Structure 1
């Protein structure tokens, strides 16, 4: 049997709520939108670059966003040492190299990183600050991370729209 990306039911974006509810709700909405763009596709379709000359794929986006979740929420905010599943110093863009990727495992990694990101942020104030890992050493707060992650997903979901439409004509949402 051929593995396919699972179908999902996306939770509607929040219309009313306090700041935390809105930020978490919109981030979850965009996380689910990415999965919706992948739903029903085979592993091979998920690996298909379809907007030439770009090599960007839906699976590459899933892998990339799993690592972005880990970078901002776990490594930076929570101060955890993260063993990235794709990134290496020799190949920092390995998340986009899907030639030998296992789509089912990569989806499991994505779901795990989202859950770990939620745990890292739970109970923390939106005003809590941290200093970024690496040479830039910029200071951010959790509120910024939420806004940035919403922006990151929204931008990549636009890419996902185009890729999905080229694969099988599916549009919308």
Structure 2
């Protein structure tokens, strides 16, 4: 499926492979879910992307895009690549919740940050020797593998894409993607 995200950038969503190696299948599933989030934002204006689900929640489609930029950065750059001192995109003090508040956010800035973090993660994954590459999640004090991070991000995107389904339907009645 093709379209354009909330920032007007073209989106191509390719179905993940049904057979193949573990790495190829993880990569395909993760990219599928990344594209699904972009498609959920397709054709919407700034205010529609900022529309909150219901008070008091700050959850919006744009907030989800901002949150996923933080998630990509935290797991690939800060944890796997060891850039532990790198701040989050929207919070120097590590507050992941700040990304959800998109009321004053710039749509182009949010999508640019998310796309940049996704591109960085893709380069890191492609260059990694194997899925056994590890890093330390300093927040929880545990070692994690690239395999675990990719699985975790598939889960994270899938869960938030469920939220995006409901948010998009609330904005203009659009279902599916």
TM-score by length of 1: 0.91
Q: 1:92 to 1:24 in 2, by over 3 A?
A: closer
1:21 aligned to 2:35? no
Shift of 1:123: 2.5
Shift of 1:55: 2.3
Counting strand residues as a fraction of each chain, which structure ranks higher? 2
- Partner SS, residue 122 of structure 1: helix
Per-residue CA deviation, residues 77-122 of structure 1 (Å, 9 max, x unaligned), is: 0112423221232854210111210011110111001001112222
Per-residue CA deviation, residues 25-44 of structure 1 (Å, 9 max, x unaligned), is: 00000000000000100011
1:93 aligned to 2:102? no
Distance 2:156 2:135 in 1: 20
- Partner SS, residue 24 of structure 2: helix
Give the alignment partner of residue 112 of structure 2, picking from 83, 91, 108. 108
Distance 2:156 2:6 in 1: 25
Give the alignment partner of residue 125 of structure 2, picking from 121, 128, 137. 121
Alignment-derived partner of residue 44 in structure 1: 47
Distance 1:140 1:133 in 2: 10
Contact 1:88/1:94 (<8 A) preserved: no
Distance 1:53 1:4 in 2: 24
CA RMSD of aligned residues (A): 1.8
Shift of 1:13: 1.8
Contact 2:134/2:143 (<8 A) preserved: yes
Alignment-derived partner of residue 64 in structure 1: 67
Shift of 1:22: 0.2
**Structure 1: tracts of 5 or more residues without a match:** none
Alignment-derived partner of residue 145 in structure 1: 149
Per-residue CA deviation, residues 119-159 of structure 1 (Å, 9 max, x unaligned), is: 2222321012222123x211111100010000000000000
Shift of 1:17: 1.4
The more displaced of 49-58 and 93-102 is 49-58
Q: 1:123 to 1:90 in 2, by over 3 A?
A: closer
- Partner SS, residue 135 of structure 2: strand
